[in-house]
Structure 1
Amino acid sequence: MPKIPALSFAIGVSLVLAAFPAGAQSPDLMEQLKIMRQQLEEQRARVDELERQLRASGVAAPTQLDNLRGTGPAPIAAAGQQQDGAPAPSPQPINPNPTVGRPPSAESRAPQVAPIFESPGVLTPRGKLVFEPSIQYGYSSSNRVALIGYTVIPALLIGLLDVREVKRNTTTGAATFRYGFDNRLELEAKIPYTYRSDATVSRELFTGTAAERAFNTSGKGIGDVELAYRYQLNEGGVEKPYFIGGFRFKSRTGRDPFQVVTDCQTRCVGENVTGTGLPLDLPTGSGFYSVQPSLTWLMPSDPAIFFGSFSYTHNFKRGNVYRTVQNGEKEFLGDVKPGDVFGFNFGMGLALNEKASFSIGYDHNSVGRTKQGGQVLPGSVRMQLGTLLLGYSYRLNNQRTLNVSVGAGLTRDTPDVTLMVRMPFSF
């Protein structure tokens, strides 16, 4: 290792001596040169000792030697102020912080963008387990006007006018587990618990009364358990997109709509409607098995990340379905198949600092028409569900992150507002 400070100092001392001929040097200057030579020898001895210790230990990390290099000798004391044999003051390094120039540690790197969609974009690292408790709240309201009768002239109805307003609250708590088998493969299991409550206010005109009638019902229990896996298809990189393929299976472990009792005395279809036709106890599951393949993409573009996905949900047909009405009677419905769902979403994430990030996105689902007995169910139409989402994320430490997202419904069939709070724990 070259001794740059010592050699430079020695050259400077030689030039000073050459500038004064013999016999012309004053006693004060000779004393200062003597002190400088003494300090030079001590500095050289210290550097040699540190170099010897460094070579013997084999440590390549910054040591005291890095602080001494480039700092020069200690300040020169005035003649007569330092006693003979007294040690020279230790040199003070210009930059005593040995961490300058090192790459940033994992703790100071920018966090992942705030998740706003159901499926995460970044996979779990190999050998890591993530436990993510979450709670989601949704509120929706709808108004329905049913006209049963005929008109003689415009604006004159002969028959029944049914005005119904529905307020629906749904709260779902879930425990999600993710495990990374390698850097490209991730498995997931989700166990939800759902609590629902509906309040229906209706007023029937032309029936002799104009009084409003409220119908309240609720339901709670385990929802439909889901299993999923995701696989990263390519390497990706800076200014290169990442593609992640996924496959999700949804069971029907929750209480389905055909198990709850409907408020009807006899039949609930046709002309013999003798009740409200509403369930007395709300279901917690869909009642159908389904599978969902998906493709997710992420595009890093400093300082933002663009992301999105395409998905298709296939609902399996269920045969020999019965609906339960009051007095324990069963109403045969036959084969029922819900419509399949095509969905897509896109968004942008931005890291605000080392711990906080912000995301905005749009999610859209197109739900097909329901079929009964191979025929489209009367009154069933294709629904369009559009939601605008905002998300925030804050990294509490290396193992915990708090994620909050808010969704606003943009179409009539979409819930008015949804709020989700998630806190994944990494092990």
Structure 2
Amino acid sequence: MRLCSLGCASLVLVSGAMNAQQAPAPDNSSEVSAQIKQKVVEQGQRLDAMRSRLANQLEEIDAMKRTLAQQEAEYQTLRHAVGMDVLDQQRGGNANAAGARASALPMPGSDLLAAADTTVKPPQPVGQAPQHDERPPEVAPIFDQPGVLTPRGKLVVEPSYQFGYSSADRVALIGYTVIPAILIGLIDARQVKTTTQTAAVAARYGITNRLEVELRVPYVYGHTDTISREIFTGSAQDKVFGSSGHGIGDVEATARYQLNNGGADKPYYIAWLRFKSRTGRDPFEVVTDCVNRCVQNATGTGLPLQLPTGSGFYSIQPGVTWLYPSDPVVFFGNLSYLHNFARSNVSRNLVLAGKEFLGKVQVGDVVDVSVGMGLALNDKASFSIGYDQSFVGLTKQNGKTVAGSAKSVLGTLLIGGSYRFNEKRTVNFTLGVGVTRDTPDATVTVRVPMMY
């Protein structure tokens, strides 16, 4: 029995062991699969969220691009409305406006930077609209008439200095010829050198933004040297006869009015009217010499002992100035007509003969045409070049043309520069070179307008 019990027990243990080996182990694969599926779902949700966010940002970027394009179009419209030069000058003195102008221009790679930036920023205004200015653009002045009018309520005081030099050679034959090779009479060869210096003060006041008045008072100093040698009079050397004169010149008053509103590729027109008095010493008041220069003649046909400082005639001069801005230059010019009023009962002073009655004298009128162009080098300096030509009429005495009077043409090549120290101080320089025989050889003018 005991042996049977032990065998049965052993059999039971062996069967249990075999059953234990045949029983399957616990299965965890289902739990792992569930976790993986959960992570995949979460990643998909995150990816969908990122895609949605990226789509929203792309839409915002497109909206910003459209806003930028609209602002750029408005910016270009403003530049076209006020003119390139005016806009540059208004922004050149303001660093913030200059930065705004730079930000208004598209930069390479800006779209990529905007796409990479995940921070959404509201659209910001680009640039700053300039103040509307109806005045013409400023250029270096090389003519007598300025191109920019004085603002309303402002006073511009402009001191100026002008130096002019001219020389002329003249040969006078007084007598008659027996044959073309023999002259019986006087040969008078003269070389005349004239220096003129004019200091003036002009005051301009702006009544409105389109109307100004000006008063100019000059002070003139002139000196002339005449070098000559009379043949057949026993003279073996050159003779020099000098004369000079100084004093207040002819005071001028001018009114200017801007006719229209110009702009980029649109001309400006400024009409003006000048009146010139005869406050200076006129040629009929000075004394004519008949001691040093008159040969066997005491009727007063020599040279004056003093030089006049004025023309001796009242004058009125209407004209039109035009300016045409065309980036990057400004074209400008003048057209005017100077009328000299006749004088009656005119006499001149002679050293030996006293007063000589001349009657009614009228000098020729003058038609003046000038054209030029100006270029702004930066916001302070500018350069101008131009040409001025005048047509002078005949001088008449008692209704008849004066003997020796002829029409003349005065042509001058003008080169000028301007530098602005600040908003109220500017210096202008002009060089004039005569291109015709009747024009002064060289003229230098310096002006310093100061605004108050």
Q: TM-score, normalised by structure 1?
A: 0.74
**SS of the counterpart of 1:181?**
strand
Partner residue, 1:168: 194
CA 1:105–1:392: 2 relative to 1, 3 Å: farther
Partner residue, 1:348: 373
Maintained 8 Å contact 1:351/1:357: yes
Identical-pair percentage: 61
| Counterpart residue identity of residue 210, structure 1 | A
Partner residue, 2:387: 362
Counterpart check, 1:155 vs 2:184: no
Partner residue, 1:247: 273
* Correspondences of 1:152-231 after superposition (within 5 Å): 152-231=178-257
| 1-structure distance, mates of 2:338, 2:438 | 18
Note the residue ranges of structure 1 that are not aligned, 5 or more in a row.
1-17, 22-60, 63-70, 72-93
Partner residue, 1:392: 417
Maintained 8 Å contact 1:225/1:251: yes
* Structure ranking higher in helix proportion: 2
Number of residue pairs matched by the alignment: 337
CA 1:171–1:396: 2 relative to 1, 3 Å: same
Task: State the Cα distance separating 1:264 from its structure 2 match.
Answer: 2.3
Task: State the Cα distance separating 1:210 from its structure 2 match.
Answer: 2.3
| Counterpart residue identity of residue 391, structure 1 | G
**SS of the counterpart of 2:313?**
coil
**SS of the counterpart of 2:307?**
coil
Task: State the Cα distance separating 1:154 from its structure 2 match.
Answer: 1.9
1:416 to 441, 444, 447: 441
Counterpart check, 1:310 vs 2:332: no
CA 1:121–1:19: 2 relative to 1, 3 Å: same
Task: State the Cα distance separating 1:208 from its structure 2 match.
Answer: 1.8
2:398 to 344, 354, 373: 373
| Counterpart residue identity of residue 273, structure 2 | F
Maintained 8 Å contact 2:290/2:297: no
Task: State the Cα distance separating 1:329 from its structure 2 match.
Answer: 1.0
Task: State the Cα distance separating 1:325 from its structure 2 match.
Answer: 1.0
Task: State the Cα distance separating 1:124 from its structure 2 match.
Answer: 0.9
| 1-structure distance, mates of 2:225, 2:301 | 13
**Post-superposition CA distance 1:208-265 (Å, at most 9, x none):** 2222110011100000000000111111121111111110000000011111110026
| 2-structure distance, mates of 1:320, 1:219 | 25
| 2-structure distance, mates of 1:144, 1:367 | 20
Maintained 8 Å contact 2:273/2:319: yes
Maintained 8 Å contact 2:298/2:353: no
**Post-superposition CA distance 1:157-207 (Å, at most 9, x none):** 111100011000000000000011111111000000000000011100011
**Post-superposition CA distance 1:273-329 (Å, at most 9, x none):** 467711101110001000000011110101100011110000000011110111571
2:319 to 294, 303, 318: 294
1:128 to 131, 154, 166: 154
**SS of the counterpart of 2:208?**
coil
* Correspondences of 1:20-169 after superposition (within 5 Å): 101-102=127-128, 112-169=138-195
Maintained 8 Å contact 2:139/2:147: no
Maintained 8 Å contact 2:300/2:351: no
Note the residue ranges of structure 2 that are not aligned, 5 or more in a row.
1-41, 46-95, 98-112, 114-120
Q: TM-score, normalised by structure 2?
A: 0.70
Partner residue, 1:32: none
Moved more, 297-306 or 147-156: 147-156
Which is greater in Rg?
Answer: 2
